[in-house]
């Protein structure tokens, strides 16, 4: 493992984790007005994929999208300010947890509806093909979306037009609380790629390095004009579907603990240290830097101004450049 890349993956996963833990605290403190779907436990997926993307590449995400936004380069400040309902949030207070937008860095939106991101990523791929751009589009979605019609129609369209798209399914075993094994005729989602004539890859979604390698190959294929790839990342969300929601009755504590033992941040740290790629000092330095950044961004977000009521009717239609 190459040191700079290994540490970058570690840092970006930690940035997501610490931001999410801060958001969970903030929700308890009453700073978050609506939903808060955390990405805790799944950080390796967004981090491994987005490490290959430039700002001109585009990410389309789902309701569990904080991690995708942060991995794509939206600052913790802008994500937190958005959940705190502030004018300085990345959607200027219009979206909250489920509608994070920062097209300036290629975060084309997270969504409160499961499925459409698959179609929209195909659409961005179509733009790249039409206008001859060297970019790729990525759809992040869960196992739940794989049983939605958008999955079938979107991947088939991307396959027939050979679009530069990554379809990244984060199979965290539950669509909210409905088990994927119950809801899917074949719970190995990557195998569905055969039906569309594209490669389907199964990856340990808690292994950041494995994610990095798999995504690297899919991005290479896309940029080379070889078409889309379906990646199924087997992973797990260790917190509730949404903060404050009752998290019992559909999974066992033993199962949660078993996945926590395979925490993606811990796994990468063990590997970095075990293979002597990095030492304790490297890890401490990252923890200090990220911890300070997240605290600072939280304080800044929590003291940012609220939007003005009269702006509620702006941007329904185009208002001019």
Partner 1 sequence: MKELTYTVAAREALDEEMARDPRIFVMGEGIGKRGGNFNTTLGLYEKYGPTRLCDTPISERGFVGLAVGAAMSGSIPVIDFMMVDFILDAMGEIINQMAKMQYMSSGRLRMPMVLRGCIGIGGAAATHHSGSYYSIFSNIPGLRVIVPTTPADVKGMFRTALRGNDPVIMLEHKNLLSNKGPVPDGDYTTPFGQARIARAGKHVTAVGVALTVQKCLQAADQLAKQGIEVEVIDPRSTSPLDIATILQSVKKTGRLMIVDDAFEPCGFGAEVSAQVGTHGFDDLDAPIRRLSGAFAPTPYSPPLENEIVPSVERIAAALGELVKE
Three-state DSSP state, 45: helix
Which of 65, 109, 205, 227 binds partner 1 (CB under 8 A)? It is: 109
Minimum CB–partner distance for residue 87 and partner 1 (Å): 10
Binding mask 292-321 for partner 1 (x = CB under 8 A): ----------------------xxxxxx--
Decide: is 95 part of the binding site for partner 1 (CB under 8 A): yes
Q: Which conformational region is residue 139 in: left (phi greater than 0), alpha (psi within -120 to 50 degrees), or beta? A: beta
156 within 8 A of 192, measured Cβ to Cβ = no
In the sheet with 200-204, reading across from the earlier edge strand, the strands are 58-60, 137-142, 165-171, 229-234, 200-204
Of 129 and 300, which CB lies nearer to partner 1 in the complex structure? 129
**Rounded CA separation 150/23 (Å):** 30
Residue range at the interface with partner 1 (CB under 8 A); choices 107-115, 214-222, 261-269, 296-304: 107-115
Look at strands 229-234 and 200-204 and give their pairing: parallel
Neighbours of 1 (CB within 10 A): 15
Cα–Cα distance for residue pair 195/26, rounded to 1 Å: 44
Instruction: Tell me which stretch binds partner 1 (CB under 8 A): 106-114, 170-178, 200-208, 238-246.
Output: 106-114
Is residue 103 a contact point for partner 1 (CB under 8 A)?
A: yes
CA dist., res. 131 & res. 270, Å (int): 44
Place of tokens 């260790």: 238
CA distances from 77 to 8, 23, 243, 252 (A): 20, 11, 19, 35
Instruction: Give min distance, CB of 199 to partner 1, in A.
Output: 20
Residue 92 or 238 with smaller CB distance to partner 1 = 92
Q: How far apart are CB 264 and partner 1 at their closest, in Å?
A: 29
Binding to partner 1 in span 126-145, by CB under 8 A: 126-131, 137
Q: Which of 105, 157, 198, 277 binds partner 1 (CB under 8 A)?
A: 157
Among 83, 138, 145, 150, binds partner 1 (CB under 8 A): 150
Q: Binding to partner 1 by residue 182, rule CB under 8 A? A: no
* DSSP assignment letter at 197: T
The yes or no reply on residue 228 touching partner 1 (CB under 8 A) is no
Contact status: 156 vs partner 1 (CB under 8 A): yes
Which two structure tokens, joined as six digits, stand for 224?
């080379």
Q: Which residues bind partner 1 (CB under 8 A)?
A: 58, 60, 91-92, 94-95, 99, 101, 103-104, 108-109, 111-113, 116, 118-131, 137, 149-150, 152-154, 156-157, 160-161, 314-319
């Amino acid at each position: 493992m190459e040191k700079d890349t290994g540490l970058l993956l570690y840092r970006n996963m930690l940035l997501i984790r610490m931001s999410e833990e801060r958001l969970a605290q903030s929700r308890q403190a009453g700073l978050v007005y609506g939903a808060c779907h955390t990405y805790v436990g799944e950080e390796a997926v967004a981090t491994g994929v987005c490490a290959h993307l430039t700002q001109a590449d585009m990410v389309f995400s789902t309701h569990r999208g904080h991690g995708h936004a942060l991995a794509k380069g939206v600052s913790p400040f802008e994500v937190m300010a958005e959940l705190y309902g502030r004018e300085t949030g990345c959607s200027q207070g219009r979206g909250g947890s489920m509608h994070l937008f920062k097209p300036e860095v290629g975060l084309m939106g997270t969504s409160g509806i499961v499925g459409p991101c698959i179609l929209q990523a195909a659409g961005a791929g179509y733009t790249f093909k039409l206008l001859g751009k060297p970019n790729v589009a990525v759809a992040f979605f869960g196992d739940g979306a794989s049983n939605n019609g958008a999955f079938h129609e979107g991947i088939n369209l991307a396959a027939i037009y050979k679009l530069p798209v990554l379809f990244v399914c984060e199979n965290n075993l539950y669509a909210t609380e409905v088990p994927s094994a119950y809801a899917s005729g074949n719970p190995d989602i990557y195998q569905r790629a055969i039906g569309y004539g594209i490669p389907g890859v199964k990856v340990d979604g808690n292994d950041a390095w494995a994610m990095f390698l798999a995504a690297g190959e899919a991005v290479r294929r896309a940029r080379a004009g070889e078409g889309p790839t379906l990646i199924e990342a087997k992973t797990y969300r260790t917190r509730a579907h949404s903060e404050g929601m009752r998290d019992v009755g559909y999974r066992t504590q033993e199962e949660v603990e078993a996945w926590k033992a395979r925490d993606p941040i811990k796994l990468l740290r063990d590997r970095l240290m075990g293979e002597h790629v990095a030492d304790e000092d490297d890890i401490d330095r990252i923890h200090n830097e990220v911890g300070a950044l997240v605290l600072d961004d939280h304080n800044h977000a929590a003291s940012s101004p609220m939007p003005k009521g009269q702006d509620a009717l702006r941007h329904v239609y185009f208002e001019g450049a």
